[in-house]
Amino acid sequence: MSQASVLAEAKSSAEILLDTQDLTKVYQTGEVEVHALRGINLTVQIGELIVLLGASGSGKSTLLNIIGGLDTPTSGKVTFLDEDITNLSASALTRYRRAHVGFIFQFYNLVPSLTARENVALVTEISSNPIPPEDALSMVGLADRMHHFPAQLSGGEQQRVAVARAIAKRPNLLLCDEPTGALDSKTGVQVLEALKTVNEELGATTLIITHNVGIADMSDRVIRLSDGMIIEEKQMGRRRQPSELSW
Amino acid sequence: MVGFLRALDRKLLRDLWRLKGQGIAVGIIIACGVGIMIMALGSLASLEESRSTYYERYRFADVFADVKRAPNQIVGEIREIDGVKSAETRITRIVTLDLADFNEPANAQLVSLPDEGQPTLNNVMLHEGRWPDLARPEEAIVSRAFAQEHDYHSGDRIRAIFNGRTRDIEIVGIGDSPEYVWTLGIGGLLPDDKRFGVFWMRRQALERAFDLEGAFNNVTVSLLPNAVEADVISRLDNMLAPYGAVGAYNREDQFSNAFVESEMGQLVAMAAIIPPVFLVVSALLIHAILSRLIAVERQQIGLLKAFGFSNLEVAAHYVKLAVVLSLGGVLAGFVLGRTLARLLTHLYSNTMRFPEIVHVFEPSAFVIGAGAAIVAAVIGALNAALKAAALQPAEAMNPAPPTVYRRGGILPLWLTNKLDEPTRMIVRHITRWPIRAAMTTFGIAASMALLVGTLFAFDSTDEMIDTIYYRTDVYDAAVTFAEIEDETALSELDRVPGVLEVEPTRDVYVRFRNGVHSERGSITGIRSDAKYKRLLDRKETPVSVAESGLTMTSHLASLLNIGLGERLTVEFLEGKRPVLDIPITAVVEEYIGHAAYMNIEELGRVMGESRTITGAFLALDPDLSIEFNDAILDRPQVASVALRSAVIETFNETLEETITIMMMIYAVIGGAIAAGVVYNAARISLTERGRELASLRVLGFTHGEVSYVLLGEQAMLAIIAIPIGSLLGTAFAHLIVLGMSTDLYRVPYVLEPSTRGFAAAVVLVAVFLAAVLVANRIRNLDLIEVLKTRE
Ligand SMILES: Nc1ncnc2c1ncn2[C@@H]1O[C@H](COP(=O)(O)OP(=O)(O)O)[C@@H](O)[C@H]1O
Ligand SMILES: [Mg+2]
């Protein structure tokens, strides 16, 4: 059986991980109102790998931050595993992030005073069923760099540590905001490989924001945002390996 | 307004605005230092001014002498002495009072007024009423504090016992004099206005009452500006010797003045010892703030230099920032200092009876305070400013290289491996920035040290009270006689109701001489088995007075530069006035005065007197206190009675307010240092590590867990700082002991564990409060904003 049909089959019976309804976000900066999101309706299946495309300022980060519990919408509703997380308190959102969400940003945001292993352990210490930090680092191909401090690692390596740190707690949802934005193509590919491995091996639902149209080819679905709205949604037939991607 | 400023100055104002939290923290510390300096120097100036105006206006004498009885005519000879401007003879006497509203023994110091007009020296400031009428011998002016305490007014009558006879005294005026600013109660250290008053009466009335017609028993002298005081004193001593002189003395030995001076000396010590701690800490904080600012503004500095600003301009810019930052603290310190000075002078009015304490504006206090604070700020800024000046523009415009951390640091690896990650972050951060951590630790330790070093004074006071009134002077009542008595007076006392036991004492005025060293003093004769007046040796073990020779307090021995086993010359100023060589056979410790003791029989023998006594220590039956209080007044020989319980009560009452207020002031200002240091350090950390902490929040760490990473470091440093500060505080307390000890008394060094505990608690509360403030800022970290920016 081909991979695509397995996925299609899985999807038809899959449960819904996350769902947004008429999500809007308005930023008030002085006199000016910025409508960052204008009614987003998005349903994410468990295990999906989704790529978010769109011009700068189209609202991708805003959407990801709201889904990840870093920000709250102006109106609309976010449901995660049948639970409404729209109006959770700050501490409930913290618990939500702690239990379910892994983040990866353009800038790696590692703790400079902790080694690679310790950066991962930071998260595994506060989660209930983590992957051992060593295994998480192996998964991103950094087993031999475990005891290096961030300052001793290259950008791509740092980002892979960030991936390991994000997935070590076995998140249900992995949110990546331009994870390769600061990397050259070769290291970017390594990071994407890592993300794909994680998505496949752990089944973590993954949303990736990118400017790189090529990355879309490795996803299940591509969603394009423009001016705070979803303007295009495309199911991808077959996922390509990251190394096959063109930059 | 802003339009007139140069762009760089506008940047300075914006920087100040951004740094306002830390600016306030530093400002508070500077304000405390400047405030205390101004409080001490300002109060000192106020006291000096109040004193000198009072002394001048009311013509406080320069030299004082008591005699037994001298004929009035010799005053002419006294006025002839070289350097004497004027002399006035008086009759002075201590008597007991039988107060209708108060059934405990009370005493009055009687002082004669000339028969006509007002005294030429030691004049009385009349607050209310009029001068006594010569024709009405019962009229008196009484001291204001005594009158206030008993709510007496002109027209009220008081009963006093003059030579065993009850006399009705009518109050016609309320007044004060420069001679009794500090009206020392009988047997105490503090004024006791309930039990001690000064009564001024016309001389004729006192001459008749005490059989001193045509004679005087006290003379006071004022000196010409060029007079040699010591010469006048020795001439007076020679002249008055035939009349039972007990040694003339100057203002330094005049009780009231000596106590006032001792307070002023303590203010000087306070101004010299305490503010520097604040200023050193403020310099450290300014250093930390500027170092951080310069790290943040590194690229801006590079840019400024690329635009052509000189190194000097760049350095000056940051020094200016520090100075402006400190100016706020200086201004607040001015206000604080004025307020504290007022509070302190209010406390002084509990013990010092100036007609009023003038609040003088003392510009030099402000100049010194502001100058010291600004110098501290500049010193604090200098290092960072020079670093800014030294930055190469091209290099500065690149971001700073990343901070390199190491795994081990000072902690062994096995221990680091046991820590959870947040704790490991704390430890790595401390060991990565050891100097900064050391400075924070030092700042918190300084706070602890200051608290320990000031609060210990209350333990010392307790120790003094405890030693004096519970270990050495343990009689229930001390009685003095108006005249020298023999042992029959003792047996009469024994028969007074309520008296359980009587112990005699003989006080004799002497002059000690050891080569060039000479001291006027007295020898107290007590029994070798005295139970109610005991002596303590250096180890605080009770010892009895030596059977022969002199038992001397170590303070007197050091004044005379003499030691155990050596002999010194004692000129007795009473009786047959023998001059003898006496060996020192024991040395004892006393906190107050400079006493010397002898076995009472031995004292009589060397003076060639048979068993004379001047007073007695009594043990009383507590159930018969009312009977005792009634009966003791009727004893004709008794001049004064002091109850130990009353002395202790006065001590507690007088000092209670002072201690509470000063404790609070010390706790607040001491805590302010710790709070300021921690707040500042945590804020700096927060600007450096905001991104790190935000990413922890994103990872799902709670606000509390994230606060731990930042504030746990401060807590850890505080815990290290407290024992260090406690040690420093011990040293500080010793310094204060040196500064506060005067000729009148020596402050013992005593520091109870509970005081250290209290100090530590104040530090921890201060650290906690500062942490809460910073924790609130952590709560407001903008997670998304932080993550958007490049590190
Ligand atoms: N905190 C904010 N305050 C004001 N406007 C904001 C804020 N965050 C984002 N925006 C605005 O919202 C819009 C969407 O931003 P964002 O979601 O970051 O876009 P993208 O990630 O697609 O580039 C932009 O116009 C941006 O300027
Ligand atoms: Mg974005």
DSSP B123: -
Minimum-distance CB partner of A125 among B402, B421, B788: B421
Radius of gyration of chain A (CA): 18
- Give per-residue burial for B93-107: e unless 16+ CB within 10 Å, then b: bebbbbbeeeebbbb
Our count of domains for chain A comes to 1
Helix axes B703-740, A90-100, angle to 10 degrees: 120
Which residues in chain A have their CB less than 8 angstroms from residue B706's CB?
none
Q: What are phi and psi of B38, to 5 degrees?
A: -70, -35
Quick check: is A23 in a domain? no
Give the H/E segment covering residue B512.
strand B499-514
Residue of minimum CA distance from atom 12 in ligand 1: A36
Q: Kindly state the average pLDDT of the residues B133-159.
A: 94
Per-residue pLDDT at B408 exceeds 80:
no
Residues 6 or more apart from B658 whose CB is under 8 A from it? Answer: B347, B350
CA of A209 to the centre of ligand 2 (A): 8
Quick check: is A150 in a domain? yes
Q: Quote the CA–CA distance of B496 and A69 in Å, as a whole number.
A: 90
Q: Which residues pair with A208 in a beta bridge?
A: A51, A176
C-beta atoms of B702 and A91 within 8 A = yes
Residues 6 or more apart from B424 whose CB is under 8 A from it? Answer: A113, A114, A118, B416
Residues of A with CB under 8 A from a CB of B: 61, 65, 70-71, 90-91, 94-95, 97-99, 101, 103, 105, 107, 109-115, 118-119, 121-123, 125-126, 147, 149-152, 165
C-beta atoms of B703 and A118 within 8 A = no
Per-residue pLDDT at A244 exceeds 70:
no
Quick check: is A82 in a domain? no
Q: Quote the CA–CA distance of B52 and B691 in Å, as a whole number.
A: 63
Q: Hey, CA dihedral for A93, A98, A103, A109, is it positive or negative?
A: positive
C-beta atoms of B700 and A111 within 8 A = no
CA dihedral B598, B602, B604, B609 (to 10 degrees): -160
Ligand with minimal distance to A74 CA: 1
pLDDT tens readout for residues B194-226: 889 999 999 999 999 999 999 999 999 999 999
Pocket (CB within 6 angstroms of ligand 1):
A 27, 29, 34, 36, 54, 56-62
Quick check: is A16 in a domain? no
Quick check: is A9 in a domain? no
Q: Å from B20 to nearest chain A CA?
A: 24
Quick check: is A197 in a domain? yes
> If you measure CA to CA, which chain A residue comes closest to B424?
A114
Per-residue pLDDT at A10: 40
Residue of minimum CA distance from atom 16 in ligand 1: A59
Total H helices, total E strands in chain A: 7, 10
ipTM, two decimals: 0.81
C-beta atoms of B787 and A107 within 8 A = yes
Residue that the structure tokens 């802003």 belong to: B2
Q: Å from A36 to nearest chain B CA?
A: 14
Which residues in chain A have their CB less than 8 angstroms from residue B425's CB?
111, 113-114
Quick check: is A13 in a domain? no
Per-residue pLDDT at A2 exceeds 60:
no
Per-residue pLDDT at A239: 61
Longest C-alpha distance within chain B, in Å? 102
- Please choose from A26, A61, A71, A210 the residue to mutate so as to test ligand 1's pocket, defined by most ligand atoms within 8 A of CB: A61
Q: Which amino acid is at B243?
A: Y
Q: Write out the residues surrounding ion ligand 2, Cβ under 5 A.
A: A 61
Ligand with minimal distance to A62 CA: 1
Which residues in chain A have their CB less than 8 angstroms from residue B791's CB?
107, 109
- Please choose from B780, B783, B784, B785 the residue to mutate so as to test ligand 1's pocket, defined by most ligand atoms within 8 A of CB: B784
CA of A163 to the centre of ligand 2 (A): 18
Q: Out of A51-60, B569-578, B636-645, which region has the weakest mean confidence (pLDDT)?
A: B636-645
Residues 6 or more apart from B728 whose CB is under 8 A from it? Answer: B445, B446, B448, B449, B452, B453
Which residues in chain B have their CB less than 8 angstroms from residue A151's CB?
402-405
**Residue A226 in tokens:** 């423009």
- Report the CATH number that the domain containing residue A181 is assigned in CATH: 3.40.50.300
Q: Closest Cα partner for A25 from A86, A85, A82?
A: A86
- SS3 annotation, A53-98: EECCCCCHHHHHHHHCCCCCCCEEEEEECCEECCCCCHHHHHHHHH
> Which domain, by its residues, includes A124?
48-72+87-236
Q: Quote the CA–CA distance of B155 and B297 in Å, as a whole number.
A: 79
**Residue B685 in tokens:** 């950390």
pLDDT tens readout for residues B56-115: 999 999 999 999 999 999 999 999 999 999 999 999 999 999 888 888 888 999 999 999
Residue that the structure tokens 């009158």 belong to: B147
DSSP A172: S
- Give per-residue burial for A24-59: e unless 16+ CB within 10 Å, then b: bbeeeeeeeeeebbeebebebbbbbbbbbbbeeebb
Per-residue pLDDT at B550: 95
DSSP B472: I
Under DSSP, is residue B513 helix (H, G, I), strand (E, B) or coil?
A: strand
Q: Kindly state the average pLDDT of the residues A66-77.
A: 92
Q: Quote the CA–CA distance of B104 and B102 in Å, as a whole number.
A: 6
Which residues in chain A have their CB less than 8 angstroms from residue B703's CB?
90-91, 94
- Residues A159 and A104 sit within 8 Å (Cβ to Cβ): yes
- Residues B86 and B221 sit within 8 Å (Cβ to Cβ): yes
Which residues in chain A have their CB less than 8 angstroms from residue B705's CB?
126
Per-residue pLDDT at B630: 83
Q: Quote the CA–CA distance of B281 and B674 in Å, as a whole number.
A: 10
C-beta atoms of B698 and A109 within 8 A = yes
Residue B310's CB is within 10 A of a number of other CB atoms, namely 11
Minimum-distance CB partner of A109 among B421, B701, B787: B787
CA of B159 to the centre of ligand 1 (A): 93
Per-residue pLDDT at B54 exceeds 60:
yes
- pLDDT band per the 50, 70, 90 thresholds, residue B1: very low
pTM above 0.95, yes or no: no
C-beta atoms of A122 and B432 within 8 A = no
- Residues B584 and B606 sit within 8 Å (Cβ to Cβ): no
**Residue B87 in tokens:** 């002399």
Residue that the structure tokens 């607050």 belong to: B127
Per-residue pLDDT at A6: 36
For B80, half-sphere exposure in the C-beta direction (CA atoms, 13 angstrom radius) is: 6
C-beta atoms of B700 and A94 within 8 A = yes
Alpha-carbon distance values, A77 to A37, A43, B39, B482 (Å)? 13, 12, 63, 99
- pLDDT band per the 50, 70, 90 thresholds, residue A13: very low
CA of B786 to the centre of ligand 1 (A): 14
Q: Out of A77-86, A192-201, B154-163, B507-516, which region has the weakest mean confidence (pLDDT)?
A: A192-201
Per-residue pLDDT at B351: 83
Residue that the structure tokens 């003989």 belong to: B506
Proportion of chain B above pLDDT 90, given as a percent? 52
Per-residue pLDDT at A9: 40
- pLDDT band per the 50, 70, 90 thresholds, residue A11: very low
Per-residue pLDDT at A240: 61
Q: What are phi and psi of B397, to 5 degrees?
A: -75, -15
C-beta atoms of A103 and B703 within 8 A = no
Radius of gyration of chain B (CA): 33
Quick check: is A12 in a domain? no
**Chain A interface mutation, best of B405, B421, B428, highest count of A Cβ atoms under 10 Å:** B421
Q: Quote the CA–CA distance of B725 and B742 in Å, as a whole number.
A: 27
Q: Kindly state the average pLDDT of the residues A157-177.
A: 91
Under DSSP, is residue B65 helix (H, G, I), strand (E, B) or coil?
A: strand
Under DSSP, is residue A168 helix (H, G, I), strand (E, B) or coil?
A: coil
Q: Å from B275 to nearest chain A CA?
A: 38
Q: Which amino acid is at B411?
A: L
Which residues in chain B have their CB less than 8 angstroms from residue A105's CB?
787
Per-residue pLDDT at B338 exceeds 70:
yes
Per-residue pLDDT at B409: 57
**Chain B interface mutation, best of A118, A124, A209, highest count of B Cβ atoms under 10 Å:** A118
DSSP string, B665-719: HHHHHHHHHHHHHHHHHHHHHHHHHHHHHHHHHHTT--HHHHHHHHHHHHHHHHH
**Residue A164 in tokens:** 């390991």
- Please choose from A27, A38, A74, A231 the residue to mutate so as to test ligand 1's pocket, defined by most ligand atoms within 8 A of CB: A27
Inter-residue long-range contacts of B736-743, CB under 8 Å, 24+ positions, other chains counted: B736/B269, B736/B273, B736/B453, B736/B454, B736/B456, B736/B457, B737/B460, B739/B266, B739/B269, B739/B270, B739/B272, B739/B273, B740/B266, B740/B269, B740/B457, B742/B261, B742/B262, B742/B265, B742/B266, B743/B258, B743/B262, B743/B594
